Structure formats: structure tokens, C-alpha cells
Amino acid sequence: MEIIKQEKTKTDVRKTSMKVLNEKELRVVAYARVSTDHDDQKNSFDSQQKYYLNKIARNPNWTFIDIYCDEGISGTRITKREGFIKMMKDAVNDKFDLILTKSVSRFARNTVDTLKYVRLLKDRNIGVYFEEENINTLDMNGELLLTILSSIAQQESSNLSAHVLLGLKMRAQQGRIVGGTSCYGYDYSKKDKQLYINPETSKVVKKIFKLYIEGNGTSKIAKQLTEEGIPTAKGNKAWNEGTITHILRCERYIGDLLIGKYFSIDPITKKARKNRGERDQYYITNHHEPIISKEDWNKVQEIMKARAKPWANKKDSDFNKSYAFSGKLVCGFCGRGLTRDRNFSMRNPKYYCDSTRRVSKDKCPDSKMIDEEMLKLSFMQMVIKLRRKIKIDDKFAKIVKTRLAYSRKKLLNREELSEEKFEQELVDSILKYAIVGDKTETGKCRPYVIRFILKTEEDTLFPTYKKESINLYKILEFDSHQIFYYFKEDKNGKPRQVFVDKIKITCEVDLGDYEWK
């Protein structure tokens, strides 16, 4: 037996030092961030950009691609850092090989985010070089050092948040406004930090309280203000019940001030939660000039308490939000969301366009109610056909495979899929949203069309980030033999039942900026 050693011909980029990377031909980008808009930080921001431009330009082996920047943005949350998001999108699309950044804390102050994105980049053979810590992620034998340093950066952020909270608490104890300073009916003076009555909007506030005491509901008041053309606090034409309810419950209109209505759960997510006794609150009486008398305000609170629905004071966690397609269905005719209706006269729950609840001119006339069981069966038929197509179709376009990478992985890892067994977990993991109903080029309305739009890796990385443009590509299309019926007016204006023996299903993915040729 003869053993012949074959020498390696390529250098594994994962095991290269920064010295070797300097000698390799690489496409290089830089990431810079400052967390405030102060002049000294702005100078630092400009200096970072010039520094990286010169550094990349000086290396003859490197090709400058771009500098991604976030100015005046906190590093604790990725979703608000547009420069960072664009950089990660370009990384997914293989536009560069190496990222230069000042330090771990500039990259992210969240340990989970740091490791998550570094691993994502490493999987794509893209390195991150942290200059202050002298860490090259492609040269790490382990993640211990990066984990420690990113944890320190996160702790610094937590300590800063604690100092800020202490300052806000001291302001509250002194009776000064903390948090939101705007209040419809008042003007806030930055000079003396006080609320002063606005002569015009205060009249609207008085009108709202008067109408409610007279027996009008919040919906009727909102409709009346909208019809009278009175703008909201944000300048919108339409009022809604929630805004009216908020005004009726606000203690500021009797001259008092409650500080601490909401609190942040933690300094990383910065998610706000209604304070139900978890934190201290400060109630300050006679803080400013009132618009409404205490007698009228108390009368309104009593009426609201009497009218309150059984679920009015429930916590968010008391509600079950795990319906099959909650928040994922969009009307193909008007773009509004679809609402689930569980009427006991119906055999199965139905989804219908939210506009059907509105008594107004903008009611969607083309959308029809669709059965939840029909949606479940259609979804399972779609994923079964998609998995088969992915497995056997060698001509499956590369760009589609790239964009579909996340959903493909989820589908192919499934041992078994059946039309009879609906999988809620699969809906949550791969379905971004579904469009129900569409119009043909000739203008024919088809309420029996369901378009399932799958998630891409970007959607899982940045779930709250909205894309500027949508470029949907149809992967597969088929007919599902299910009975769909709806009512349509005939020539005499009488409703008649229309039956369709099959519904059209499509599966699509967003190609992003890619132009299909």
C-alpha cells in the first residue's frame, strides 16, 4: 500500500492572520458608528470615515467597496441602524470579503447580536476586524475572547442606562415632566419646561368630553371629528377610537401629571411595557392649568368604567395570539390586513378584509371572506410541492436559491409533510405574509387567489425592517381543488351565490434589488 500526500494548493481564509489578509486580494468595506449628534462625536465620525478610506486605499491588494455609517444611533438595537442593515444585506449578497471597524462596541453593544452576525458572516467566509481589540474573526480558534469583550460592551450600555434612569427618577421626584412632553390641547415650552393651554386644540378637547358625557361613544365622536375636518395631533384627517379613549383617560386635562405610566423592560431591547405596579409612579397634582374640571373628568371615568368590555383591563399576555395566520394575511385589493372571525354560526373560522368593519366610502368591495381550513390546506399543499421542486429541479435559478436559503433549509430538514397535518410552526418559520385576492390585467377580480410570500434570510435577521421596494418572483403556481363561494350582485342589484371549484395558489419570494434577466 502506497500513501501519497497531496499538498494543499489553497490557503483556508478561515485560518489566516491579519498579516496574511493584508497580502490577499480582498473586497473590503468599513463600518463606522457614533451614538450621539454632539459636535465632538461628529468630528470623530468624519475622522473614522477618512481613516478607513485612506487605510483601504493604501493597500494595493484591497479593493474599496463602501463605508457603511450610522450617525446618532444607539448600538443596542440593530433594527434602527440602517447602515448596519444595508451592510448585512450586501454581505448576504456576497458583495465584499472583509469588514473593518473600530471596536466591538462600535459594531454592537449586544452580545447576542455580536455573535449572531459574526457567525453569519463567518459562514459566508467574510471576516470582521476589530482594530482596538486586534481581533480578526476569521482567525479565531474560539469565540471566548469576542464573547467576553462584547459582554463588557453590553454591560457598559446597561450601566449607562441605569445612570439615565436614575436621572429621570430624580426629575420625577422634583415634579418635572419625564418622557413625552407633547399633549393635545397644550403647548410645551422648552424654555421653562411647562405645559400651556393651546386656545384652538383645547376647544376640541372640551368638545370630546362634552360629547362623551352626553352619551356619545368613542367611535361616534371620532367619526364626527373626522367629518368636521378637524385634524388630529399629528395632522391626520381621520380620528380613531383609540385616540379619543386616550384623551378621555388622560389626567393632564385636569392639571395633574402622572409620571411612570410605562417602563423599559431592559436596556437592550428597549421594549416598553405598561406599568401595572412593577415600577414606582409619581402623581403630581396642580402641575399646570387644567382644561377640564375634575367633576367632568370623574364623570367620564365612571361612564367608561360602566361601559368597559370584559377584556378591557386584561394584560397583553392574557390574549391568545397563536392563530394560524394572525398578522400574516393581506387583502390583494386594498392592502389592508385580514381579520379573523370566529362566529359560532359558522363551521370554521373565517378571515375577511378589515375594511368590511368600516362604514365608509373606502370599504373594499372586491374582497371576500375566506375559510381558515382552506388556507391551512392550501399552505400545506404549497410546501409539499415546493419541497419536491427544490429537490428535483436542477435548473432552479441560483439567485432564487440564494434568496430562498432560509426557507429551503427549514423545508428540507422536515422528515415528513402531509396535507392532513397542518404545521403551525412551519407557517411561523417560513411564511412572511400571504396576499388573498388579486386582479387580472383585464381588471377581473379573483378573490379565490392566494399568494404565499416566503421569508428570506434578511426577514429573519431584521424582522421589523421595511424594505424600500418589493421584487416578487413566482416560484410555483397550481390549482387547489377546493370549493370557494362568495356573493356577487347581479344586474338587478340582488346578491347571488357564485361557486368556484378550484382556487389558485402561488408561491413567491422577494428577490430584493436583483433584476431578473
Establish if 25 belongs to a structural domain.
yes
Q: Which own/partner pairs from 371-377 qualify as long-range (CB within 8 Å, at least 24 positions apart)?
A: 372/323, 372/324, 372/325, 372/340, 372/348, 373/348, 374/482, 374/484, 374/503, 375/324, 375/325, 375/329, 375/351, 375/434, 375/450, 376/324, 376/422, 377/419, 377/422, 377/480, 377/482
- Residue type for 247, please? I
At 119, which CATH number?
A: 3.40.50.1390
Closest CA to 336 of 344, 345, 327: 327
- How far is Cα 363 from Cα 41, in angstroms, rounded to an integer? 50
135 and 193 together in one domain: no
CATH assignment at residue 287: 3.90.1750.20
Please enumerate in sequence order all residues whose Cβ is within 8 A of that of 137, keeping only pairs 6 or more positions apart, or say none. 118, 121, 122, 127, 128, 129, 146
Same domain, 137 and 252: no
What total number of domains does the chain contain?
3
Length of the chain: 517
Query: Could you tell me if 20 and 149 lie in one domain?
Result: yes
What whole-number percentage of the chain has pLDDT above 90? Answer: 12
Identify whether 168 is part of a domain.
Answer: no
Same domain, 339 and 467: yes
Share of the chain above pLDDT 70, in %: 70
CA distance 133 to 140: 13
Domain that holds residue 18: 13-157
- pLDDT tens sequence across 12-60: 444 455 667 777 888 999 998 876 554 455 566 778 788 888 888 888 8
- Asked which of 257, 273, 307 is the last residue of a domain, the reply is 307
Shared domain for 408 and 499, answered yes or no, is yes
Per-residue pLDDT of 392-444, as tens digits, reads 766 677 777 777 887 888 888 887 888 888 888 888 888 989 999 888 878 88
* Cα–Cα dist 383/389, whole Å: 10
pTM, rounded to two decimals? 0.54
Q: Which of 107, 140, 157 is the last residue of a domain?
A: 157
364 is a domain residue: yes
Q: Kindly give, in sequence order, each residue whose CB lies less than 8 Å from that of residue 123, ignoring residues fewer than 6 positions away.
A: none
Residue 181 within a domain: no
**Domain match, 257 and 356 both:** no
Q: Over the stretch 49-103, which tens digit does the pLDDT of each residue have?
A: 888 888 888 888 999 999 998 876 554 556 678 888 889 888 888 899 999 988 8
What does the pLDDT read at residue 170?
55
- Whether residues 289 and 338 share a domain: the answer is no
Cell 390583494 sits on residue: 332
- Judgement on whether residues 99 and 221 belong to the same structural domain of the protein: no
Q: Per residue in 457-486, pLDDT tens?
A: 777 776 665 665 577 888 899 998 888 877
C-alpha cell at 283: 402623581
Residues 301 and 357 in one domain: no
Q: Name beta bridge partners: 162.
A: none
What is the separation, in whole angstroms, between the first and last Cα of the chain?
A: 54
- CA 104 from chain centre, in angstroms, equals 25
In a domain, 175, yes or no: no
- Within this chain, do residues 116 and 226 fall inside the same structural domain, yes or no? no
| pLDDT of the residue at 367 | 82
44 and 193 fall within a common domain: no
* Same-domain pairing of 210 and 130: no
CA–CA dist 502, 469 (Å, integer): 32
